[in-house]
Structure 1
Amino acid sequence: MKPRDLLLALAVVVVWGVNFVVIEVGLEGFPPLLFSALRFLFAAVPAIFLLGKPRVAWRYVIGVGLALGVAKFGLLFIAMKNGVPAGLASLVLQCQVIFTVLFAIVVLRERPRLAQIAGILIACFGMVLIMLDHGLSAPLGALALVIAAGAFWGVSNTITRYAKPQDTLRFMIWVSAVAVVPLLLLSLLTEGAQADLDALHGIRLTGVGAIAYVAFAATLFGFGVWGYLLRQYDASTVAPFSLLVPIVGMAAAWLLRGEAVGLQQGIAAVLVIGGMACTVIRRRTPRAAASGERVVVESAV
């Protein structure tokens, strides 16, 4: 990888890792579903008018918009609002790798490698350690929502594999546009119009900054650069960088929010990240190297 591209990959990792702390800050001033809707609103507008229509079938755009934008991020934001700390959320959410592999086996009829099966088992054991951690401050119900968010992320990854978008930035912008209206409606129904109006009326500079960060830095910059890297290099070269996201997320939560990491949680983090590494890192065969094979790899926060 060229030095410039290496720096870009590391920049995306830092942006996505810090994003969990920014989400936590944003949720201090917004109801979770409203905050999620605002994220996608500003990620989509005015970009959709500048880049044109997506170059994939609308059913894929709508499917990913509902699974990723509404379900995954809606559940994640609700979970973090209800007590899941930023660093822990960044780690547990990566269970999406497990669900992506499982859905690929069931839906796409892909045959798992032995390393993938071993990786899933190792990561699951790490998740169990997190659940059993007596020092864990997050309610188990909220933690279950993060796992559910990871499952919906796996659903969106499976749909994206079918879609195979050539322009990941344009695809993500239209996915963002699809998510806005359902999130706003759900916010009105569950959080209430008054709560939404109060949040918008009392918006502070930190809230504006949080919206700007999650919309422009985490979504547009992150996905734009990630898509560029996947077009330049093999997925096996790019994908491992996503394993650094929870490490940055936990470090940022410790530095910026004072979130402590206990011994058991640290061991669990090593197991989860190591297990995920087994599922996404693979040796390139001579045939794959000769053909310049590309695989769509999904990672975002």
Structure 2
Amino acid sequence: MRLILLTSLTMIAFAANSILNRVALADGDIDAVLFGVVRLLAGALMLAGLVAFQGRKLRLGGAGRLIGVTSLLIYIFGFSLAYQNLDAGLGALILFGMVQITMFAGALMGGERPAVQRWAGAILAFGGLIWLLWPGHADAPSLMHAGMMTVAGVGWGLYSLTGRASQDALGTSAANFVLAACAAVVCAAAMMFVAPNTNPIEVSGFGVAMAILSGAVTSGLGYALWYSVLPDLRGTTAAVAQLTVPIIAMAAGALILSEDLSLRLGIATLLVLGGVLLAVTSRR
């Protein structure tokens, strides 16, 4: 029962990232880029604090660090920029689908030979995303913002693939967040100096609070909690558990943000999550 509760809490935390980001941006309480910077800083402080609490030193070097930091930056800022327009549930579905497709592609490039069932699942999930994003229908989202979330999904997929080789998931994530936060602050400061915004958004305390909550709690503590329960979960169980994240995000988006749940979105959700379920339950 404890494992079920902790896993459920982790999935809620992951889905909450979409809600917090969308809530902060929907009414212009914070700029998308600033949200990403604050989220990285809060996550870095939380994860580094957890490493220090364990009496360990933070190692900023190591194999794959450049890829890890770069892919994390792509995910964080693609995610924030996409939620300037996308609904929380729709964004979570695109993100989750692209993460799984990216990891499937990474497995192929790594020499794995997936079974027919896994191929069928990947094709079904990808087809569901294409059908949802295809322009010309009433529910079609902004292709620019959907593209940003697609890029974010690829970034998170690459981050996950890189992290699979790590023997210290918490320490690796803490180092990645610290370096990514430093890079983000430097880049944001340079952008403000080179091209100052003539119409800046008035940042509210609420917007900053949502970014801190997303970085420190639903990202930092959420990832730490996920790493603590992963050893007790089978690989397929962990993958299937993550199928609940877009569903939670859609339900919360409808309740909190009054987002529409269209028939097309519902069918696309069944196709994408059904395809992923088919793929991750493959025996091979």
1:256 to 1:59, Cα distance in 2 relative to 1, 3 A: same
Give 5+ residue unaligned stretches, structure 1: 286-301
Residues 1:160 and 2:163 are matched in the alignment: yes
2:254 and 2:260 in contact (8 A); partners too: yes
Aligned counterpart for 2:81 among listed residues 75, 78, 92: 78
Give 5+ residue unaligned stretches, structure 2: none
Match of 1:271 in 2: 271
Runs of 4+ in 1 over 6 A off after TM superposition: none
Distance 2:260 2:250 in 1: 9
Counterparts in 2 of 1:173-212, with a 5 A limit? 173-190=174-191, 202-204=203-205, 206-212=206-212
Distance 1:227 1:254 in 2: 29
Match of 2:280 in 1: 280
Residues 1:26 and 2:10 are matched in the alignment: no
Distance 1:223 1:174 in 2: 13
Match of 1:292 in 2: none
Distance 2:256 2:132 in 1: 22
Residue identity over aligned pairs, in percent, reads 24
1:20 to 1:47, Cα distance in 2 relative to 1, 3 A: closer
Distance 1:196 1:120 in 2: 45
Deviations 1:248-282 (A, max 9, x none): 01111111111101111110011001111122234
1:30 and 1:196 in contact (8 A); partners too: no
One-letter identity of the residue aligned with 1:239: A
Residues 1:252 and 2:255 are matched in the alignment: no
Tell me the CA shift for residue 103 of structure 1: 1.5
Tell me the CA shift for residue 219 of structure 1: 1.4
Distance 1:143 1:190 in 2: 24
Residues 1:214 and 2:214 are matched in the alignment: yes
Match of 1:63 in 2: 67
Matched residue pairs, number?
275
Match of 1:115 in 2: 117
Distance 2:58 2:269 in 1: 37
Residues 1:240 and 2:250 are matched in the alignment: no
1:175 to 1:221, Cα distance in 2 relative to 1, 3 A: same
Distance 1:56 1:277 in 2: 36
Distance 1:29 1:61 in 2: 33
1:16 and 1:245 in contact (8 A); partners too: yes
Tell me the CA shift for residue 92 of structure 1: 0.5
Question: Which secondary structure state, in structure 2, belongs to the residue aligned with residue 59 of structure 1?
Answer: coil
Tell me the CA shift for residue 129 of structure 1: 1.8
RMSD over aligned Cα atoms: 2.5
Distance 1:121 1:236 in 2: 19
TM-score by structure 2 length?
0.87
1:87 and 1:251 in contact (8 A); partners too: yes
Question: Which secondary structure state, in structure 1, belongs to the residue aligned with residue 167 of structure 2?
Answer: coil
1:90 and 1:249 in contact (8 A); partners too: yes
Distance 1:25 1:116 in 2: 36
TM-score by structure 1 length?
0.83
Question: Which secondary structure state, in structure 2, belongs to the residue aligned with residue 58 of structure 1?
Answer: coil
1:48 to 1:112, Cα distance in 2 relative to 1, 3 A: same
Tell me the CA shift for residue 136 of structure 1: 2.4
